[in-house]
Structure 1
């Protein structure tokens, strides 16, 4: 593959672990520390989401720069999304000065002004304020840190282009509070944290991805289906992790099949969106089917709208029409043995469609 200009693949061989200085089994705290030096061309973010027991849904992201334009110098962002059980929804995006950013390299400890995201692969505290909304939550891991192979996806003739992903807390218990307009609500719930970074604009390597995580009965799931850009043959890179009672029981991407159903064109973004996404994990006579069914949209956004005005004009001139959509609805885990259904559980979940490229007809519909 070294001479193949269309190369796009997960990095999970012995040479890949050696290249990145990683242990195939054990994840070290430094892996959740800063993995880039903020130079132009690189980007990095720490992500947290939670389903809260009062019905609220929370997402907090600390970014060192906008991934649509990673060639800029350090230009940190705070994203905070809060959907309340009374129907109110808050989508916050704060651009902060470069000097407000600090990120340790030996562990997760990211500071963005007075906001902080810190932890040790097991326990994290996230504090963030954006206008009238603030959150103060603790995430305590219930499933060990995990990564798909080395966590790196490599692109290009020499596999020199990188996008990396570390689910440091695949699932954890959440405690804390959120405050809206001075009213504080104590909360508990279930949460998730991952960390992403790369050395090339995602627009140059990834056409789109579906990503999801959820819990139903004794099962916890992280699932993604990543499609490379046309230059890399629209190569698919599946990611899948299934845990039962807190123990990881399946994570071999070669055993994953993905399909979509009820695909429609979103009228705001113009992107094809599947109302149902389904992951099949088949091993011998056993099969696990994980289905995400869209009931409502949490976010529908054109990426160009988040750019500064001058860059927005340039993006439109080059016909950039990237979009981000986040959905809510049930995740159902169905287990079959020798063709017979033996288990089925369903619960609420959040998942997303990140669409960097132009709309294309999906391979499965």
Structure 2
């Protein structure tokens, strides 16, 4: 695997354009991303400078930058934001800013020429859902400025944009002013817990790979989300659990992924994020995980040790919904999560599906749902420390392996 260091990739002109000198961490970095597939090899940033075991302000801002030197036919990079109503998990909003072709990420429109796709999904209290997108002619991402310019993304000609409201990226707004889709409003996020890197923050250089060729960072693992948006005469206004992350790869999605389970939510006073992954055609059947648990904003776990998190689908009897490893078409009722926490404790969580937000019912699904959980002390006999924890979540699965393959 070819990996560029943090300093090297920031010194390369992204698609032959950077608007500032790169000598000072406080400089503003502007990336202009063209809409057409680029020729040449895509190189990815899969590590970040964390000197002294700290995530500095400049490194934190870099997390929100593009992580590929080009978008070719087999690479992808996206920015993802969501919020789910804390009172009714049927109600949610998701906005994603893609830089990818449908060849690299096959869940995009194969007839769309632009690699710059701004997408919005919504689900409503009555159980219905809606989705729409627009292609962009040019994407501009500004990183490293002060105040409201610390992170800014504009997908030109679409009316989609995001903006960091604080220099440390602890607050964002996503603004949609999209007459073509009859969508207008905003999603605000105010962080309730610190960022999560796949294996936590390490001593000098921290890896950003959740699995081979798959980069992932959760810049806002849990936020107070505020949604006020009108979608084709339906007004959505709610507060709830919100989230922001990024995924990227220098390789086609179907060449990497066998099974992908990801989700996040607010469970009582806890913020949780989970990621469990199997690679396609992997003879070792290695399980790649990343677990994150914070309580009242204090991180308890931020790790990628497979012994610290187990994620398993659940399904009704005589169905394949609870099968693991899973295959194309397996649809669970929910998931069981088992987090190992410090001081010989465990968090056990049941996640149940409520609303289908996106997906084709075979290869990909995203849901909102309810969570229930408890924290148990192992002494060595289990003793329940906290019970009746409840909350809401957004979660998804990809199953890319056919059963008879």
> TM > 0.5 between the two?
yes
Map of 1:5 onto structure 2: none
| Alignment check: 8 A CA contact 1:139 1:175 kept | yes
Matched, 1:48 2:75: no
Map of 2:352 onto structure 1: 293
- Report the CA distance shift for 1:290/1:67 in structure 2 as closer, same or farther (over 3 A): farther
Map of 2:160 onto structure 1: 115
| Alignment check: 8 A CA contact 1:100 1:112 kept | yes
Match of 1:133 among 163, 183, 196: 183
**CA displacement, residues 186-234 of structure 1 (integer Å, 9 cap, x when unaligned):** 4333210001111111211111211111111111110111111114533
Q: Normalized against structure 2, the TM-score is what?
A: 0.70
Unaligned runs of 5+ in 1: 3-17, 156-161, 303-321
- Report the CA distance shift for 1:184/1:194 in structure 2 as closer, same or farther (over 3 A): same
Map of 1:207 onto structure 2: 258
3-state SS in 2 of match to 1:37: coil
- Most deviating of 216-225 and 104-113: 104-113
1:237, 1:67 → 2: CA distance?
25
**CA displacement, residues 111-157 of structure 1 (integer Å, 9 cap, x when unaligned):** 112210222521111012361233312211111112122221353xx
What is the CA-CA distance between 1:296 and the residue it aligns to? 4.3
Matched, 1:85 2:125: yes
Unaligned runs of 5+ in 2: 2-44, 107-111, 145-149, 200-206, 322-326
| Alignment check: 8 A CA contact 2:197 2:302 kept | no
2:261, 2:353 → 1: CA distance?
13
**Which structure 2 residues correspond to residues 11-30 of structure 1 after superposition, within 5 A?**
20-23=47-50, 24-26=53-55, 27-30=59-62
Map of 2:267 onto structure 1: 216
**Which structure 2 residues correspond to residues 55-66 of structure 1 after superposition, within 5 A?**
55=88, 56-66=91-101
| Alignment check: 8 A CA contact 1:66 1:77 kept | no
What is the CA-CA distance between 1:85 and the residue it aligns to? 1.5
| Alignment check: 8 A CA contact 1:212 1:351 kept | yes
Map of 2:147 onto structure 1: none
3-state SS in 2 of match to 1:251: strand
Map of 1:257 onto structure 2: 310
What is the CA-CA distance between 1:256 and the residue it aligns to? 2.0
2:234, 2:334 → 1: CA distance?
37
- Most deviating of 66-75 and 270-279: 66-75
3-state SS in 2 of match to 1:358: coil
Map of 2:198 onto structure 1: 148
**Which structure 2 residues correspond to residues 339-358 of structure 1 after superposition, within 5 A?**
339-344=382-387, 345-358=389-402
What is the CA-CA distance between 1:237 and the residue it aligns to? 0.3
Q: How many residues align?
A: 316
Matched, 1:274 2:314: no
**CA displacement, residues 56-101 of structure 1 (integer Å, 9 cap, x when unaligned):** 211110101246426998611122111122334212233x14x332
1:152, 1:354 → 2: CA distance?
18
1:146, 1:214 → 2: CA distance?
14
| Alignment check: 8 A CA contact 2:364 2:396 kept | yes
1:235, 1:221 → 2: CA distance?
23
| Alignment check: 8 A CA contact 1:39 1:73 kept | no
Match of 1:170 among 212, 218, 221: 221
| Alignment check: 8 A CA contact 2:46 2:209 kept | no
**CA displacement, residues 236-272 of structure 1 (integer Å, 9 cap, x when unaligned):** 1011101111111122332223333326457xx9522
**Which structure 2 residues correspond to residues 93-112 of structure 1 after superposition, within 5 A?**
93-94=133-134, 96-97=135-136, 99-106=137-144, 107-112=150-155
Map of 2:276 onto structure 1: 225
2:189, 2:94 → 1: CA distance?
13
| Alignment check: 8 A CA contact 1:30 1:108 kept | no
1:19, 1:225 → 2: CA distance?
18
Map of 1:312 onto structure 2: none
- Report the CA distance shift for 1:238/1:270 in structure 2 as closer, same or farther (over 3 A): closer
